[in-house]
Amino acid sequence: WQHNHSKCKVCPITGLWRHNQSESKVCPTTGLWQHNHSKCKVCPTTGLWRHKQGKGKVCPTTGLWRHKQGKGKVCPTTGLWRHKQGKGKVCPTTGLWRHKQGKGKVCPTTGLWRHKQGKGKVCPTTGLWQHNYSKCKVCPTTGLWRHKQGKGKVCPTTGLWRHKQGKGKVCPTTGLWRHKQGKCKVCPTTGLWRHKQGKSKVCPTTGLRRHTQGKSKVCPKTGLWRHNQGKSKVCHTTG
């Protein structure tokens, strides 16, 4: 009889006895009926009670169950919910967690993800970010990294790129820089390189250029230099 039963054995709303109720309708811990519990205490999918769920299965903020959350909302490694993670821990594009990303995918300086960086900001060889490189290591014109440039494209002295040098600073034949050439290799007047000058334009003895020699030092007929002419080879009239 009802008065011989304890209060929790009969549902005060339906009047049904506990043994007539299905097992999931009564909480085995508190003895309360499912319809006497607040909505968030019983999972609408599994019918299990909140205190019977394992740690982390119910979000402490939203009260939603783990299996009711959308894909990627719960970290498969830490079990934490997406909205409990700090800013930048979840990639806004892939939805992957920071600790699931491979080394180098997150910039240690900006915290941005690799695929969110603009083209050329990440070195395709080393995987390092542009703002972690010194200014001279990245070409400001092409955006290429120094170690991706061919030999001679970067001046080893100034660190400037070949296409950033003024005309005449790089020898078009040898590819060497002007300040790396010896004094006699570059004409101080024209700025031309020695091997680009004609044979008679540079004195093989002094290394001086024809246009820096006085008028009488070069034979107007042969174009040879005076000190290379024998006594009879110099015109007695013109010198």
pLDDT of residue 103: 47
pLDDT of residue 183: 42
pTM (2 decimals)? 0.19
CA torsion angle for 150, 153, 159, 165 (degrees, to 10)? Answer: -160
What is the Cα gyration radius of the chain? 43
pLDDT of residue 167: 46
| Interacting residues of 203 by C-beta distance below 8 A, sequence separation 6+ | 209, 210, 213, 225, 228
pLDDT of residue 107: 62
pLDDT of residue 55: 47
pLDDT of residue 80: 63
What distance in Å separates the CA atoms of residue 31 and residue 48, rounded to the nearest whole number?
13
What distance in Å separates the CA atoms of residue 174 and residue 21, rounded to the nearest whole number?
96
| Nearest Cα to Cα of residue 67 among 86, 44, 38 | 44
pLDDT of residue 184: 44
* Entry field: residues in the chain: 239
pLDDT of residue 21: 52
Structure tokens given for 23: 């097992």
Averaged over successive runs of 10 residues, the pLDDT of the chain (239 residues) comes to 53 59 56 53 60 55 58 59 56 60 55 54 58 52 57 58 54 58 53 52 60 55 60 54
pLDDT of residue 213: 52
